Structure 1
């Protein structure tokens, strides 16, 4: 039996929840891989032991054939060109789908926390106060900044802009939090997936 045939049999059925859209061109691949990794970074900033939670969800969804272990997961995420450990690989369509499905399911499990944080953000803005004056928001923002600083390459132009301004980095973390909430909707996962290809993210 050929390896290709074996792979076809092992392909998780849940991948069919997302339409097949060819990853055409390097620019599309770079943007897609970047956005997926940043969304996963946001999840990591929301909960302690987030990676363990993601592995548990991956097993429950039957995605462990693609996301087999921590090393594989790390290598998939290092396709983000902003990373210190950027590996220049291109995600396959199935790998990209698996990561988006995983992120969306984790977002649904964290939806209450995400909503609470975004409500707190709006309350702070309505009062004209810095967003990090709210205790819950401050905790999330601090973890996101720490994760971003430790994982991303400061020699990348865009990364250096974020690293030079705490306000810019906070704003990025809140944009990503809104995208996570977007993923929790009835067709949010599919809409987020499509948006990765049309530049609407």
Structure 2
């Protein structure tokens, strides 16, 4: 059996559910790495226990060859250049796919909660009220801001802009919330994956 045949057998089947793109070097851009981590950050703000459940999801989908353990998962998250612990690593396409699969698996049970929060955001906007006036929405935004403050590097210019403006950080949290909803429906995982590569495909 050739090495190619052997590696194909070792590749988790679920990765084939997401299309491959002709990306230079078959690695992700820093923009994609940042985007995936921020989406996961929003997911963690919605469900405080989700970070502990991610490794179980890795095993559920047989992704151990892509994400070996908790440290490996942390290192993949730290390829986000905004992170305090930025490691200058580069996500492979398979690693990025695995993170999107994990995101999709954990966001689906939260669909009703996300819809409720976005409906509340619309109601607050319609009544010219701050989004923080809604208890559940304020809770999500507080958690997101807390995660962002503790994990992102304030010496990064863009990060500093968000840290200096609660309003801008709330806006970012709501944008990411809408993107999470985007991947809850039919073929949501594929839609999220494709959206990451807008402007990236050669």
Question: TM-score normalized by structure 2?
Answer: 0.91
Flag as ranges the 4+ runs of structure 1 deviating above 3 A.
1-8, 25-28
Query: C-alpha separation between the residues in 1 aligned to 2:16 and 2:69?
Result: 22
Cα displacement (A) at 1:113: 1.3
Query: C-alpha separation between the residues in 1 aligned to 2:150 and 2:6?
Result: 38
Superposed CA deviations along residues 95-144 of structure 1, whole A, max 9, x for unmatched, are 01111111112111211111111111111111111001111011110010
2:163 aligned partner: 163
2:58 aligned partner: 58
1:93 aligned partner: 93
Superposed CA deviations along residues 52-83 of structure 1, whole A, max 9, x for unmatched, are 22222222222233222210100001111111
1:9 aligned partner: 9
Tell me: CA distance 1:81–1:26, structure 2 relative to 1, closer, same or farther (3 Å): farther
Tell me: CA distance 1:121–1:199, structure 2 relative to 1, closer, same or farther (3 Å): farther
**Aligned counterparts, 1:111-122, within 5 A:** 111-122=111-122
Query: C-alpha separation between the residues in 2 aligned to 1:148 and 1:79?
Result: 15
Tell me: CA distance 1:77–1:120, structure 2 relative to 1, closer, same or farther (3 Å): same
2:149 aligned partner: 149
1:176 aligned partner: 176
Superposed CA deviations along residues 22-59 of structure 1, whole A, max 9, x for unmatched, are 33379961111010000111111111211122222222
Report the RMSD for the aligned CA atoms in angstroms: 2.2
Tell me: CA distance 1:57–1:109, structure 2 relative to 1, closer, same or farther (3 Å): farther
Q: Which runs of 5+ in 1 are unaligned?
A: none
2:191 aligned partner: 191
Query: C-alpha separation between the residues in 1 aligned to 2:3 and 2:86?
Result: 28
1:32 aligned partner: 32
Superposed CA deviations along residues 168-187 of structure 1, whole A, max 9, x for unmatched, are 00000000000000011212
State whether residues 145 and 169 of structure 1, in contact with CA within 8 Å, keep that contact through their aligned partners in structure 2.
Answer: yes
State whether residues 80 and 86 of structure 2, in contact with CA within 8 Å, keep that contact through their aligned partners in structure 1.
Answer: yes
2:70 aligned partner: 70
Cα displacement (A) at 1:145: 0.2
State whether residues 35 and 196 of structure 2, in contact with CA within 8 Å, keep that contact through their aligned partners in structure 1.
Answer: yes
| Number of residue-to-residue matches in the alignment | 200
Query: C-alpha separation between the residues in 1 aligned to 2:51 and 2:58?
Result: 10
Residue 198 of structure 1 aligns to a residue in which SS?
coil
State whether residues 12 and 63 of structure 2, in contact with CA within 8 Å, keep that contact through their aligned partners in structure 1.
Answer: yes
Q: Which runs of 5+ in 2 are unaligned?
A: none
